[in-house]
Amino acid sequence: SKLNVVQLVQGIVDQFKGAYDRELVFETETDEMYINGNHDQLQQVVYILMDNALKYSDKAVDIHISQQGLTVQINVQDYGKGIPPEESEKIFDRFYRIEKSRSRELGGTGLGLAIAKVIMEEHHGSLSVSSEPGEGTAFSMRLPAINEN
């Protein structure tokens, strides 16, 4: 169905704001950006990315929505320890977790990003990561926008 991405993301950000005492900065270029898709599944992707950003860093998390041409982009940026370049593709594999010892105490199964990637592909979109070790990590969801013309 037709979804306003801004509203969809705002809903998840509000949930996290209520549950965590952390700085969450939500910025969007406009109030309305429409896509076709499954509301609950796309919220699950945003949830997985925000949950990871909060889990693997202890600083603020920035959520940013923009539109370039017919592509809507949702960025979730953290300022945590980052992901080593050689791990940046493996993290999308089922059950893969960086340094099992580092991750063990935080809990989790290593399924979140694998699920997120499948949902994005089913929506003819993509999920990618860009990370600077020691600086932070940004995940980008890209989805085809509905052409309003």
User: Footprint of ligand ATP on this chain (CB under 6 A)?
Assistant: 48, 52-53, 56, 78, 80, 83, 91, 96-98, 103, 108-114, 137
> By C-beta, is 110 or 144 nearer to ligand ATP?
110
Least distance to ligand ATP from the beta carbon of 142, Å?
18
> By C-beta, is 11 or 108 nearer to ligand ATP?
108
Least distance to ligand ATP from the beta carbon of 129, Å?
8
Any residues with CB less than 8 A from the CB of 7 and at least 6 apart, and which?
Answer: none
> By C-beta, is 26 or 47 nearer to ligand ATP?
47
User: What letter represents residue 74's amino acid?
Assistant: I
Least distance to ligand ATP from the beta carbon of 90, Å?
8
Task: Give me 20's structure tokens.
Answer: 């965590």
> By C-beta, is 26 or 51 nearer to ligand ATP?
51
94 close to 111: Cβ distance less than 8 angstroms: yes
Measured distance CA(51)–CA(70) in Å, rounded: 28
Which residue bears the tokens 């889990």? 55
Whole-angstrom Cα Rg for the chain: 15
